[in-house]
Amino acid sequence: MTTAAITFDDSPLGRAFRLLEVLASHPEGVTLSEVARESGLAVPTAHRQLASLASCRIVRKTESKTFVPGEALWRIISLFTNGADIVQPAVAILTELADRFGETAFLARLNGHDVEIMTTCTPTAVGKAYAQPGRGMPLYAAASGKVLLASQSDEFIDGYMALPRHAFTPHTQIDEASIRAEIARVRERRIAICENEFDPDILSYATAVVDPRTNVVYAIAIFGMTERFGIIPRANVETQVIYAAQRLSTALSRPD
């Protein structure tokens, strides 16, 4: 089935959409002459229009002199798709991580002052812990939340510390000094661990994933029952979680 082309008028806005349609068909990047030819615009007109879009970070010019979608456009795309642009490449990586340890892995993001699970991948074995996409978790008591909180600005953290907190289990740290110390540890080690702090008898690990297209921070995490997951050497789990995050960031990398 062939999709009919959209016809845009010759107004500045119409020309901008014509250029964006060309860029969308060349995610690897497109030169000025190619943009002009495929959009039907004169080269000087295409150049002016691209410069205007670049000033708004809708378009970005690479070191190889090609044009690609910019940070602002990727953010708009992510909002329109509810994060599907990062979930799709994440699934294969999360599945490998889940199968390696036989536990559930997930991708999460910051939603206001909470963690929002975007997608989960479970191993083929039955009887494993499971997290529902869309579930909210606190930033101070979940491994994914600790990573996302540590990735925020000091201003965000100061404001967050003013919010009320409560203990989910006897192991939950709720005093400000302990939370700030944990933030410092996560920033230094690039990994967060949560053991029985949010859900009883659950051990989880998480690390940050920076989308290089938008600089938005996400979290990759894996968790399971402490009595089962806890027998695996922590260094092994931490290494694989960080590696999974690096792979996802590479998969999302924009052309330079």
The tens digit of pLDDT for each residue in 49-68 reads 999 999 988 898 888 889 98
56 plus 86 within the same structural domain:
no
Task: Assign 133 a pLDDT band (cuts: 50, 70, 90).
Answer: low
**Structural domain tally of the chain?**
2
Please say which residue of 21, 49, 69 terminates a domain: 69
Q: How many CA atoms lie within 13 A of 212 on its CB side?
A: 12
Please say which residue of 69, 96, 111 terminates a domain: 69
Burial of 254 (0-12, 13-18, 19+ CB in 10 A): middle
Residue 4: pLDDT over 50? no
Nearest alpha carbon to residue 69 among 33, 113, 23, 114: 23
| Residue 6 included in any domain | no
100 plus 60 within the same structural domain:
no
Pick from 25-39, 122-136, 190-204: least confident: 122-136
CA distance linking residue 244 with residue 103, whole number of Å:
14
| Residue 18 included in any domain | yes
115 plus 39 within the same structural domain:
no
Q: Which amino acid is at 169?
A: T
37 plus 158 within the same structural domain:
no
pLDDT at 104: 93
| Residue 3 included in any domain | no
Q: pTM for this structure?
A: 0.78
Q: And the tokens for 222?
A: 């894996």
pLDDT at 6: 57
pLDDT at 2: 40
Are 117 and 108 contacting, i.e. CB atoms less than 8 angstroms apart? Answer: yes
CA distance linking residue 12 with residue 9, whole number of Å:
9
Question: Which residue range(s) make up the domain with 58?
Answer: 12-69
Instruction: Report which of residues 69 and 125 the model is more confident about.
Output: 69
56 plus 88 within the same structural domain:
no
Q: What is the pLDDT of residues 139-150, one digit of tens each?
A: 999 999 999 999
| Residue 104 included in any domain | yes
Burial of 126 (0-12, 13-18, 19+ CB in 10 A): exposed
Nearest alpha carbon to residue 139 among 173, 119, 115: 115
Residue 44: pLDDT over 70? yes
149 plus 224 within the same structural domain:
yes
Q: For residue 94, what is the domain's CATH number?
A: 3.30.450.40
| Residue 4 included in any domain | no
Average pLDDT over residues 84-102: 92
Task: Assign 252 a pLDDT band (cuts: 50, 70, 90).
Answer: confident
Q: And the tokens for 248?
A: 């996802």
136 plus 168 within the same structural domain:
yes
Average pLDDT over residues 84-107: 92
